[in-house]
Chain A
Amino acid sequence: MPEALEFEKPLLELENRIAELRASSDPLAARDEIASLEERLRRLQQRTYASLTPWQRTQLARHPKRPHTLDLFRLLLEDFVELHGDRLYGDDKAIVGGLGRFEGQSVVAIGHQKGRDTRENLARNFGMPHPEGYRKALRLMKLAEKFAKPVFTFIDTPGAYPGLGAEERGQAEAIARNLREMAGLRTPVVAVVTGEGGSGGALAIGVADRVLMLEYAIYSVISPEGCAAILWGDAAKAPEAAELLRLTAPDLQGLGVIDGIVPEPVGGAHRNWEETAAALRQALRDHLWELKGKTSDQLVQDRYEKFRKIGVFEETT
């Protein structure tokens, strides 16, 4: 994947020219040109990001420089200690989790973890978990429940890994169990789709009291490529499939599936990690505050009703 997306290139060119003029021997002489370029840049940014297609959003959600789970943990949590393993089989590096402090409150934080380069991506399996990843996540959630600490989950995966070992060790069972156990978890859970929310592999850590999405994140029953392969036998038609699937944050809010959208900086989360983390911090603080006022009975009841009512159908006689 290239470092700059196709639709980012005209913006980056303008930015580079402005930077060059600023660095030139006589920046004062170029003052007017800089000002006019900056105005053009501002207008172009506005136009580009006000009308992103679902496919462009998908590309932003998968941007190689986007902050990943451990980056966000580092920016949001103090005294983070990573915990490993499912105590059954192994430690899946496609899901990370541990203990930390958020705004003075102890929390358990869990998330899918993608790699930054090829070597790390191989170790992280591109953020595609095996059953042991989901079992580690559940183990940490149960730990949170036992000690009455809230849980944050950050969702960023192409999907659960489709492989021999994953099937042998019960991928479906691991996901199903997480869905059921999260539904009954007697402690607050806030899930945030930070990048790619890929089907059951995403939902397996996503049954929460609040489900939020970063502005350009996506969340879908199937990847655009998978959908295109099934519909037209051609994964290259993914951009068309992305339109059909309604996978953007505003789409999901419209369908009643998510509870809020966390704004991203101009150009997307990868352009400014600190600003992204600051907006996320605000959202997590607000939602956690609301949830902390509820008893655990109320939490479980409200969470049940939240998922129970999702769906669109007609009742005839």
Chain B
Amino acid sequence: MVAWFWKRDKDAKERPRKVVIAEGLWIKCDSCKEIVYRAEVERAGRVCPKCRYPFRISARERLALLIDEGSLEERDAGLVSQDPLGFKDTKRYRDRLKSAKEKTGLEEAVISGLARIGAFPVVVCVFEFEFMGGSMASVVGEKIARAIELAGVKRVPLIILSASGGARMQEGILSLMQMAKTAAALQRLGEERLPYISILTDPTTGGVTASVAMLGDVILAEPRALIGFAGPRVISETIRQPLPEGFQRSEFLLEHGQLDLVVERRDLKETLRRLLAFFADRPPLPVP
């Protein structure tokens, strides 16, 4: 009943709002359709200067925007997926993994490690949506669980940036169980009184929303990100009516009390500095 997956090839082609980089100096915003100056978009951290829509960006780009330059000490990059179910539909799971690796240059759908934000040491995890829809299976669950445990060992705050279609179908029940695994690790982190800041980006749905993403001590979201448990298509098919305007967008969740704050991309790092300063109980260092 609940489809957490948006990986049909058709969907990939129809996926909205992916930034289309035209050859040259100008690009078209897929949200407002305006033609905008590319350098201006880049300068704003890939945000449309006309409508302020934050384009989907890669995990690497996101890290570059948020963490102190050169501070990433990546962990568990050598964890790679197997094919425990021998899953083969129109394509073999192994082949899907292979193309995802080629497409993203990553081994899996999350990057994790130690880093600094405004000089505060943190453990950070960033989902890569372009890697099989940022879906969570054994490796993603394991990397996140290890990252949470690392935050416990190092006694530093945890920050997770989500962008995911949910649990990965190709590892079946093992993917579902990663929700329990990561939530259990967060339970322990909470017992240790270590803060967890969850940042939701477009899109965050399914099993990732229903585990790590919604368990932050503080939950932030980028503007207009799709956030929900069930995907909008499944909901409209179930209730047999069109969905209201803005349904399951960040602002809708804020209105319904599900988020702490919607933060524009250009303000995200400063917001994190303030939150980290709060948890560290000392003022942030001045921005260099």
Q: Evaluate whether A314 and B209 lie within 8 angstroms (CB atoms) in the complex, with A179-B184, A203-B176, A203-B179 already known.
A: no
Chain A residues whose C-beta falls within 8 Å of the C-beta of B186 in the assembled complex: 180
B215 within 8 A of A: yes
A307 to B10, CA, bound (A): 35
Asked if residues B209 and A225 are in contact (CB atoms below 8 Å), the reply is no
* Chain A residues numbered 167-208 whose CB sits less than 8 Å from any CB in chain B: 167-173, 175-177, 179-181, 183-184, 198-201, 203-204, 206-207
Asked if residues B2 and A223 are in contact (CB atoms below 8 Å), the reply is yes
B127 within 8 A of A: no
A311 within 8 A of B: yes
Q: Evaluate whether A311 and B87 lie within 8 angstroms (CB atoms) in the complex, with A200-B176, A317-B78 already known.
A: no
- B180 is contacted by which of A128, A166, A183, A244 (Cβ under 8 Å)? A183
Chain B residues whose C-beta falls within 8 Å of the C-beta of A160 in the assembled complex: 2, 210, 229-230
Nearest B residue to A126 via CB reads B1
- A180 is contacted by which of B141, B174, B183, B234 (Cβ under 8 Å)? B183
Stretch from A114-122, A228-236, A264-272 that touches the partner: A228-236
How many Cβ-Cβ contacts under 8 Å join chain A to chain B? 230
Asked if residues A158 and B180 are in contact (CB atoms below 8 Å), the reply is no
Asked if residues A164 and B167 are in contact (CB atoms below 8 Å), the reply is no
Stretch from B17-25, B36-44, B235-243, B263-271 that touches the partner: B235-243
* Chain B residues numbered 171-200 whose CB sits less than 8 Å from any CB in chain A: 171-181, 183-188, 190-191
> A95-119 vs B: 1/0 string, CB under 8 Å?
0000000000000000000000000
B112 within 8 A of A: no
B118 within 8 A of A: no
Asked if residues B258 and A170 are in contact (CB atoms below 8 Å), the reply is yes
Chain A residues whose C-beta falls within 8 Å of the C-beta of B229 in the assembled complex: 160, 162, 166-167, 171-172, 175, 200
B256 within 8 A of A: yes
A112 to chain B, nearest CB (A): 13
Asked if residues A314 and B1 are in contact (CB atoms below 8 Å), the reply is no
Stretch from A17-25, A142-150, A214-222 that touches the partner: A214-222
Chain A residues whose C-beta falls within 8 Å of the C-beta of B212 in the assembled complex: 176
B214 within 8 A of A: yes
A307 to B188, CA, bound (A): 13
Chain B residues whose C-beta falls within 8 Å of the C-beta of A183 in the assembled complex: 180, 183-184, 187-188
Stretch from A43-51, A68-76, A78-86, A245-253 that touches the partner: A245-253
Chain A residues whose C-beta falls within 8 Å of the C-beta of B183 in the assembled complex: 176, 179-180, 183, 207
A129 to chain B, nearest CB (A): 11
A136 to B215, CA, bound (A): 18
Asked if residues A199 and B2 are in contact (CB atoms below 8 Å), the reply is yes
Asked if residues A221 and B138 are in contact (CB atoms below 8 Å), the reply is no
A168 to B179, CA, bound (A): 21
A181 to B90, CA, bound (A): 39
Chain A residues whose C-beta falls within 8 Å of the C-beta of B78 in the assembled complex: 315-317
Asked if residues A184 and B82 are in contact (CB atoms below 8 Å), the reply is no
A244 to B137, CA, bound (A): 16
Asked if residues B176 and A221 are in contact (CB atoms below 8 Å), the reply is yes
Chain A residues whose C-beta falls within 8 Å of the C-beta of B234 in the assembled complex: 162, 226
Q: Evaluate whether A164 and B210 lie within 8 angstroms (CB atoms) in the complex, with A158-B1, A180-B183, A181-B187 already known.
A: no
Asked if residues B243 and A164 are in contact (CB atoms below 8 Å), the reply is yes
Asked if residues A163 and B210 are in contact (CB atoms below 8 Å), the reply is no
A1 within 8 A of B: no
A151 within 8 A of B: no
Chain A residues whose C-beta falls within 8 Å of the C-beta of B257 in the assembled complex: 170
B201 within 8 A of A: no
Chain B residues whose C-beta falls within 8 Å of the C-beta of A227 in the assembled complex: 169
Asked if residues A159 and B1 are in contact (CB atoms below 8 Å), the reply is yes
A204 to B171, CA, bound (A): 19
Asked if residues B2 and A175 are in contact (CB atoms below 8 Å), the reply is no
B142 within 8 A of A: yes
A5 within 8 A of B: no
Chain B residues whose C-beta falls within 8 Å of the C-beta of A289 in the assembled complex: none
B218 to chain A, nearest CB (A): 14
Asked if residues A199 and B8 are in contact (CB atoms below 8 Å), the reply is no
Q: Evaluate whether A221 and B172 lie within 8 angstroms (CB atoms) in the complex, with A164-B235, A183-B187 already known.
A: yes
Query: Closest 10 A-B residue pairs measured CB to CB?
Result: A162-B230, A311-B138, A179-B183, A183-B184, A172-B209, A312-B84, A172-B229, A171-B229, A175-B210, A159-B2
Seen from chain A, the residues whose Cβ lies within 8 Å of a Cβ on chain B are 128, 158-164, 166-173, 175-177, 179-181, 183-184, 198-201, 203-204, 206-207, 219-223, 225-227, 229-233, 244-247, 251-252, 255, 257, 303-304, 307-308, 310-317
Seen from chain B, the residues whose Cβ lies within 8 Å of a Cβ on chain A are 1-5, 7-8, 10, 78-82, 84-85, 87-90, 137-139, 141-142, 145, 167-169, 171-181, 183-188, 190-191, 206-207, 209-215, 227-231, 234-235, 238-239, 243-244, 247-248, 256-258
Given contacts A163-B230, A176-B212, 19 further A-B contacts (CB under 8 A): A161-B238, A162-B1, A162-B231, A163-B239, A167-B229, A172-B213, A175-B229, A176-B213, A177-B214, A179-B179, A199-B2, A200-B176, A200-B207, A226-B3, A257-B177, A307-B184, A310-B180, A316-B78, A316-B80
